[in-house]
Amino acid sequence: MENITLVKGFYEAFNIPSKPMLDRVLADDWVDIPLASGQGPGRDGMKAALDGFLASFPDFHVKNEDFIADGDKVVVRSTITATQHGVFAGVPATGKALKIMAIDIHKICNGRVLQTWHVEDWLSALFQIGAMPPKL
């Protein structure tokens, strides 16, 4: 339960938003796998990515749907909702809402998140904002 509480702080950092929250939950040598396009490594890279998300999606929100904890790992299934009000992936602001799924695996060490592996369905987001044709 302690590890789940820690990991919840990671998502709160996006929802509040709060860069200091990232400092509290992520280890100094935290590793994000894979890095987003243009994202730098570590906590500072995630802080810059947070700025980028908020510039594109000021109402960016992560709702955690499920947590599974086993040993030093916590798996989280989440739903991300947002409205595109800024450029995203080269696509000008559309004002369209999106809803996508994310799955993350966080490794905990010494009371901090040491590594995060993640998959977000950004392809669906591109369809929802009209950047991709409705049929492939």
Which tens digits make up the pLDDT trace of 59-81? 999 999 999 999 999 999 999 99
Number of domains in the chain: 1
Long-range contacts of 57-63 (CB under 8 A, 24+ apart): 57/82, 57/83, 57/84, 57/85, 57/86, 57/88, 58/83, 58/85, 58/86, 59/83, 59/85, 60/14, 60/17, 61/14, 61/15, 62/11, 62/14, 62/15, 62/102
Has residue 134 been placed in a domain? no
Has residue 135 been placed in a domain? no
Has residue 64 been placed in a domain? yes
Q: Quick one: average pLDDT of 15-31?
A: 96
Has residue 48 been placed in a domain? yes
pLDDT band for 136, please (50, 70, 90 cuts): low
Has residue 133 been placed in a domain? no
pLDDT band for 1, please (50, 70, 90 cuts): confident
Range of the domain at 15: 2-128
Has residue 136 been placed in a domain? no
Has residue 90 been placed in a domain? yes
The tens digit of pLDDT for each residue in 95-129 reads 999 999 999 999 999 999 999 999 999 999 999 99
Which pLDDT value is given to residue 62? Answer: 98
Has residue 11 been placed in a domain? yes
At 65, which CATH number?
3.10.450.50
